[in-house]
Amino acid sequence: MSRTFFSSFQRAHAIAAALCLAVLATGAVAAPADCTALAAPECYRAFEPPQSGGTLHYYASLAPDAAPSTAGPTQALIAMHGHPRDANKTFNAALLAVRNAGTLDRTLVVAPLFQVAADKAGKCSTAGVPAVQDGDLLWTCGSWLEGGRASNGGGISSFAAMDAVVAELVRRWPSLRTITIAGFSAGAQMVQHYIGFAADAPAASVSLRYVVSDPGTWLYFDAFRPQQAGVDSGACPTVNRWKYGTEGLPAHLGRSAAEARQRYAAADIHYLQGELDTGEGKGTAYRVLDKSCAAAAQGPYRLERGLAYAQYDRTMLAPDKRREVTVVPGCAHDVACVFPSEVARAALLGSPRQ
C-alpha cells in the first residue's frame, strides 16, 4: 500500500472529523461526509429491528435514496466488529478491501455496532466509536457474540438483530443481490455461531455468504475435537457446551442442534486465517485468547484452531461442498491487515463476475 494512499485516507478522516466539530461548535449544517473514505459520525445510521423495542446502529458507506431504487449497489459486505466493539476500525478495513478491489461503485459496506451499557463497557470499548444513546439495544461485552438476548427492549437476540440488519439493507437497497456477512476475531465467533441459526434471505433474489476470520474459538456440532486426547466431558465439562458445542443450546435461538448443523453444512462459507496469528508473540493478541480447557481442545492458537476446523468442516460437515480456507501472508491478529489483503478479496467479495 502506497504512502500516498495512506495520506489521502488520513486526510479524508481529518476532514470528516473537522466537519463534525464545526457542526457541534456552530450549529451549522456541514457538507455530508464521504462515507466511502472512512467511518465518520455522519455515516452512523439507526433503525429499530421489528419487535425489538430498541435501536441498533450501523456504519454504512452509502446513504439510501429517499425512494428505494433498483439502480443501487448489487452487493453488500457486512463487517462484524471484534470484542473491543471496534466497528469504526472494522468498517474502515472493509472499505479498504472494497476500494482495493475497485468495486466501490457497486458495493455497500456496513458495520453494525452492538452496544453495551456505559458502566459495563470498560473492557470492550474503542476510541472513536459512538457512545451508547438512550433507547439503544444493550448487550454485555460477551453476550452478543454467542446469540445472547439484549438486556432491554424486547430482549431480541444478537442473531435475530443480525437477521434484522440483513432485512433492513434489502428494504433500503432493493438492488442488492448478494450479501456477505464477515466477522473478524470475536466478530468471527459471532458470525460462525450465527450461520446455523440465521434466517433465510429476506428475498428470493438475494443470496447470503459468510466469511469467518481468525476467531478465538469455534462452534463444533458433535464431540470431535482436534486435541481429543485427554479431553472428555468429565475432565472438561464445558467442552461440548454452548458456545463450544451444542449441549445446552439456548432455546431462544429457535433451532435444534441437528437443524443448526444442517443449515451450517448447506451455507456458503469461506474461512480466512492470518498466517502469523499463532504463538504468543507480538501481534497475536495471545493475552486475550481463550485458554480454557474447552478452547484448548480445539488447538493451541487461532491459526491452528482455524485450519483444524476447516478440515473438520470439509470431512464431517459438508464433504460435498468446496470450503475455501485462505491463509493471509504476513498478517497476525489484525483486521486492518487481513481484510484489505489481496488474497482475502475472493472470500470477502466473491468472484469478479458477481
CA–CA gap between residue 17 and residue 266 (Å, rounded): 43
Instruction: Encode 242-257: b = buried (16+ Cβ within 10 Å), e = exposed.
Output: bbbbbeebeeebebee
* Residue 15 predicted with pLDDT over 70: no
- In tens, the pLDDT along 151-166 reads 999 999 999 999 999 9
Q: What is the pLDDT of residue 103?
A: 95
CA–CA gap between residue 61 and residue 106 (Å, rounded): 11
Specify the pTM. Answer: 0.89
- In tens, the pLDDT along 290-304 reads 999 999 999 999 999
pLDDT interval class at 6 (50, 70, 90): very low
* Nearest one of 182, 316, 293 to 235, comparing CA atoms: 293
CA–CA gap between residue 247 and residue 236 (Å, rounded): 13
Q: Say if CB 225 and CB 298 are below 8 A apart.
A: yes
330 dihedral zone (left: phi>0; alpha: psi -120 to 50; beta)? left
Alpha carbon distances (Å) from 99 to 9, 33, 102, 112, 232: 11, 17, 5, 20, 47
CA–CA gap between residue 202 and residue 216 (Å, rounded): 30
- Residue 61: φ, ψ to 5°: -80, -20
Q: Say if CB 12 and CB 37 are below 8 A apart.
A: yes
CA–CA gap between residue 79 and residue 105 (Å, rounded): 18
pLDDT interval class at 32 (50, 70, 90): low
Task: Provide, for the chain, the percentages of residues in helix, strand and coil under a 3-state DSSP scheme, each rounded to the nearest 5.
Answer: 35, 15, 50
34 or 114: which leads in pLDDT? 114
Q: What is the pLDDT of residue 11?
A: 41
